[in-house]
């Protein structure tokens, strides 16, 4: 049985070079690629999430950890067919129409990806139709919307209303987040949940998919 402790530690430390080196060594030693991902790389990010939530780690450190984890995934991907890559579920994430903020949204996307979600990052300034298109064409299970301006918050409701009009609301979960968003607002517009930060978004998505 391989010792994945050092790989987990290097992910937490955000040391991409060491993560690459350790991942290669584990592969060369004949370890199962999926075990390297699950017990080493993702397990490292599972330490980062709670630390970020409790204020022990900050955004720059989390980004470094996510990038380090991604560096390891790229090496394992070479020996794994894409179909074999572990996936908890598929999420389409984006910032709503009129809003150009993407740092928080990108952090959520990276952290979701790092724990095993397949993430389609749609970008910023997105009309409701773009989210609906992702549900139709990409077969996503969760739509995650972000807004940082009070003036763009109601665009989230536009997306939910359009999902209903198109008969798609029942087949997808909708979560919302961003500085002006609250649980109360989430309830008012008919979303399935609200997450105040990236770590909470992961927990929420796992709960919504019954993980």
In tens, the pLDDT along 56-72 reads 999 899 989 989 998 99
pLDDT reported for residue 83: 58
Mean per-residue pLDDT over the chain, rounded: 93
Q: For the domain with range 5-83, which CATH number is right: 3.30.70.260, 1.10.10.10, 3.10.450.50, 1.10.1240.10?
A: 1.10.1240.10
User: What DSSP string describes 1-23?
Assistant: ----HHHHHHHHHT-HHHHHHHH
Predicted local distance difference test score (pLDDT) of residue 7: 96
- Those residues whose C-beta lies under 8 Å from the C-beta of residue 10, and which sit 6 or more positions away, are 18, 19, 22, 44, 68
Give yes or no for a contact between 30 and 82, defined as CB atoms under 8 angstroms apart: no
Domain with CATH 1.10.1240.10 in the chain: 5-83
Residue 61: C-alpha distances to residues 12, 13, 148, 198, 201 (Å): 9, 8, 22, 13, 18
Q: Residue 1 pLDDT more than 60?
A: no
Residue 96 Rama label (left phi>0; alpha psi -120 to 50; beta): beta
pLDDT of residue 126: 98
Greater model confidence, 59 or 161: 161
Residues 83-142 have pLDDT tens digits of 577 789 999 999 999 999 988 898 899 888 888 899 999 999 999 999 999 999 999 999
Name the CATH superfamily, with its identifier, for domain 90-208: Cobalamin-binding domain (3.40.50.280)
Residue 157 has pLDDT above 60, yes or no: yes
Examine the pLDDT at 80 and tell me if it is beyond 90.
no
Q: Give the pLDDT of residue 82.
A: 63
What is the pLDDT, as a whole number, of residue 68? 94
Cα-Cα end-to-end distance for the chain: 26
Place of tokens 């949940």: 193
């Amino acid at each position: 049985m391989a010792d994945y402790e050092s790989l987990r530690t290097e992910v937490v430390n955000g040391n991409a070079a060491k993560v690459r080196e350790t991942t290669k060594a584990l592969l060369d030693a004949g370890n199962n690629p999926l075990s390297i991902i699950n017990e080493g790389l993702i397990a490292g990010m599972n330490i980062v999430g709670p630390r970020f939530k409790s204020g022990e780690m900050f955004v720059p450190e989390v980004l470094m950890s996510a990038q380090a984890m991604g560096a390891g995934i790229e090496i394992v991907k070479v020996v794994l067919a894409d179909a074999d890559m572990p996936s908890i579920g598929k999420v389409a994430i984006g910032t709503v129409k009129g809003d150009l903020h993407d740092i928080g949204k990108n952090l959520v996307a990276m952290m979701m990806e790092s724990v095993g979600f397949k993430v389609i990052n749609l970008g910023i300034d997105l009309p409701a139709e773009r989210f609906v298109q992702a549900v139709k064409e990409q077969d996503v299970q969760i739509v995650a919307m972000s807004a940082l301006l009070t003036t763009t918050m109601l665009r989230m409701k536009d997306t939910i209303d359009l999902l209903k009009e198109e008969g798609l609301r029942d087949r997808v979960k909708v979560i919302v987040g961003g500085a002006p968003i609250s649980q109360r607002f989430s309830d008012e517009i008919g979303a399935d949940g609200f997450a105040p930060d990236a770590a909470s978004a992961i927990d929420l998505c796992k709960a919504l998919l019954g993980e």
